[in-house]
Structure 1
Amino acid sequence: MAPTYLPTDYSKLSNKEKHKLRKPAVEKMRRDRINNCIEQLKVMLEKEFQQQDPNTKLEKADILEMTVVFLKQQLQSQISAPQKAHCDGYSQCWRETMNFLSANSKLDMTLQHLNHCQEAQRAAKDLHMSPQASQISVKQETTVHRAVWRPW
């Protein structure tokens, strides 16, 4: 870069001349910022870069490309994590529902068995009762409605 000189009377310069004087300094500051950020990326992702080829001297473009690849991988894993959590939650809900339904079916089967036993005991008692009384008890038993199981 060519050395620049600053005139003693900076205020007498036109805007165009001021711009020409400032441009190299501004450009140098911009390049320094870019280089500083690339160096920070290199330090932060040093482990990732070592996995690729530890003996290679990385250019700035290599560092930027590898950073983009690393960030894409991180984003993909973050996107798939909620999907996995959703599937896991759905599976857990399904298992709990099946456990609940099977427990209730066992309960229903147990109640049916107990009702059957009670009916058998009533039938045994009815044999000792008069024929009219047994007909009344049979009519009462047939009018008893069982609750219909509905999944909703």
Structure 2
Amino acid sequence: MASYECNRDFPVEIIPSSCARHSIKCRKIIVEKIRRDRISNSIEELRTLLQTNQTNQCPEQPSARLEKADILEMAVQFLREQASSKSNESYQSGFSHCLQETLRHLSLHAPLQPAEREQIKRFYVHQRTSMHTRLSTEPRAQFCMPSKRHSTLRVRKSLWRPW
């Protein structure tokens, strides 16, 4: 491609169009370079943030240089994990509230025997501890194993069904 420079040696009719084309071409190149630099800087910042988080959660894994695609996958996975942990907290508080309302309703309409109260209390404690255990172990495993095969297995295991 020929490089156009605004030069007074050209006839007057040619100067504006050639300078305009050159100016537009230069502007596109500069804008593209700025865009790529922003992307690279953001990915580099994500890499740093994710690696510090990963070393805190999985100190046994060696820290290798990550590719841009790996960094983006880890960022997406981390954001999904954050969203699911918020929904798990909401689920947990809803579960506790529901159980408390059930106990209140049962005690109003039919007095519970001490053995029944104890059984319900044990059920509640068991549900709560299993939920805490599941929530505390899954995010760390999910972040350390970015493989899609592991994530589909984990989703199937953690799905709670009442039957």
Instruction: Provide TM-score, normalisation by structure 2.
Output: 0.50
The higher radius of gyration belongs to: 1
Whole-angstrom CA distance in 1 between matches of 2:92 and 2:62: 34
Structure 1: runs of 5+ lacking an equivalent: 104-152
Structure 2: runs of 5+ lacking an equivalent: 9-14, 112-163
Identity %: 33
Equivalent position SS for 1:45: helix
After the TM superposition, which residues 2-151 of structure 1 pair with which residues of structure 2 at under 5 Å, given as runs? 7=6, 12=16, 13-50=18-55, 51=58, 53-102=61-110
Whole-angstrom CA distance in 1 between matches of 2:99 and 2:5: 74
Once structures 1 and 2 are overlaid, which stretch shifts more, 59-68 or 80-89?
Answer: 80-89
Instruction: Provide TM-score, normalisation by structure 1.
Output: 0.53
Whole-angstrom CA distance in 1 between matches of 2:66 and 2:6: 42
> Cα–Cα, structure 1 residues 8 and 79, in superposed 2: closer, same or farther, change >3 Å?
farther
Whole-angstrom CA distance in 1 between matches of 2:66 and 2:5: 38
More relative contact order in 1 or in 2 (CA 8 Å, sep 6+)? Answer: 2
Report the counterpart of residue 108 of structure 1 in structure 2.
none
Count of aligned pairs between the two proteins: 99
Query: What amino acid sits opposite 2:54 in the alignment?
Result: F
Distance apart, 1:66 and its partner CA: 0.8
Q: Deviations over 1:57-84 (max 9, x none)?
A: 1121111111111111121222222222
**Displaced runs of 4+ in structure 1, greater than 4 A?**
4-9
Does the Cα contact within 8 Å between 2:51 and 2:63 map onto a contact in 1?
no
